[in-house]
Amino acid sequence: MQVIFHGDDFGLTSGVNEGVIQAFQNGVLASTSIIASGQAVDEAIGLALMHPDLDVGIHLVLSDENPVHKTSSLSCPQLSDERFPSRQRLLLNLLNGRITVQQAEKEWRAQIEKILSAGIPVSHLDSHQHVHLYPYLFPLSVRLGIEYNIPFIRSRILDPILFIKNAGRFMDAMILRCWAAGYVSNVRIRPLKSIPSIGFLHAGGKLNQIILINALKTLDKKAYPAVEVMLHPGTGDPYTHSRYRHWRYNWKNDLDLSVDPLTVQLLEHMGITPVSFVQLHQATQRRLKGL
C-alpha cells in the first residue's frame, strides 16, 4: 500500500507553514495544499518554491476565510464581503440561489491562477471544510481541475470507525460519507483521479500512531492500493491557537506524529511506502506509455 501524508491549510498562518515544512523535511509528509487567500500565503508560496520536491495542491476556499477575487466585480454579497460565510450558510445560499456557480467559479479561478502564476506546479485539488463536495460545487471543481490540468481531486473519505468519542464529528463523517456515495461518486471525474482519504474523524491533531496503524490495517490493499492521510501540522504557536481557537485543533500533535521515527518504523513494518500525488501521477503516466 502507498500512503500520501498530506498537510492541509498551508498558507493559513506562519505557524502552520513552519509545521508543514518541518513535517516535510524531517518526517513522512510529502504533500500539502495551499490556501490562496491565507494570511501567510505569500510566505507559503516562497517556501514551496524553495522546496520543489514538496508536492503542492490547492485548498479551495469559499467559507470563513477571505476572497482572492476582486470583490468589486462580484454581485453576490455572500462572496464579496470581507470574509466568506460559514460552511452552513454557504450551503444554504447555494441551495436558495443567493450564491451561483458562476460567482464561485470566478473566485476559485482566482485562487488557482494565483498559485499557478507563482510558478508552482499543482498536482491536486481539495477544499477548506470539504465545501468543494457541495451540490453544484463538485462538478465545478472537477471542470476546473480538468481545464487547469490538475491530475487529482479529493472526493472520498474512508475513515474506519476507531476510538471515536466525539459524537458530532461522527455524525459529520457519516453525512459526508453518505453524500460522497450518493452524489459525489456519480459525478464523472475522468480524466482526474481520486484516491480515498482518511483522517477526517480525527482531524485537527486527534490522530495518533495506534489509530493510524489500525486504520491502515483495516483497508483492503487490493481495493485501496493508495490512500491519503489528512493532517494539519503546525508548530502550536500562540497566534494560530488564538486566531483559530474555535477549531480546537492541536496542530503540534500532527507535526509530532509526522516526524516521530516510530511512525516511520511502524509503516515500514507494514510494508507501507509514503509517496506523493506527483509520484502516483508519474507512475500512472509511465504505465500508460508502456502500453
Q: Which residues, including other chains, have CB under 8 Å from residue 8's CB and lie 6 or more apart?
A: 32, 33, 59, 126, 128, 230, 231, 232
Selection from 138, 136, 141, 105 nearest residue 122 by Cα: 141
Three-class secondary structure of residue 251 per DSSP: helix
Question: Residue 231: pLDDT above 70?
Answer: yes
What residues are paired with 56 via a beta bridge?
32
**pLDDT tens-place string over residues 20-42:** 999 999 999 999 999 999 999 99
pLDDT of residue 74: 46
How far is it, in rounded angstroms, from Cα 258 to Cα 271? 17
Question: Residue 242: pLDDT above 90?
Answer: yes
Question: Residue 126: pLDDT above 60?
Answer: yes
Find the range with the poorest average confidence among 74-78, 88-92, 119-123, 169-173: 74-78
pLDDT of residue 81: 56
Q: What is the mean pLDDT of the chain?
A: 92
* 286 vs 153, higher pLDDT: 153
What is the torsion angle, in degrees rounded to the nearest 10, for the CA atoms of residue 95, residue 177, residue 59 and residue 85?
30
Rounded to two decimals, the pTM is 0.94
Domains of the chain: 2-290 (3.20.20.370)
Q: Which residues, including other chains, have CB under 8 Å from residue 47's CB and lie 6 or more apart?
A: 17, 20, 21, 54
Q: CB under 8 Å, gap of 24 or more: what pairs does 72-78 form? A: 73/106, 74/103, 74/106, 74/107, 75/103, 76/100, 76/103
What is the torsion angle, in degrees rounded to the nearest 10, for the CA atoms of residue 184, residue 186, residue 192 and residue 195?
60
Please report which helix (H) or strand (E) contains residue 101, including its range: helix 101-117
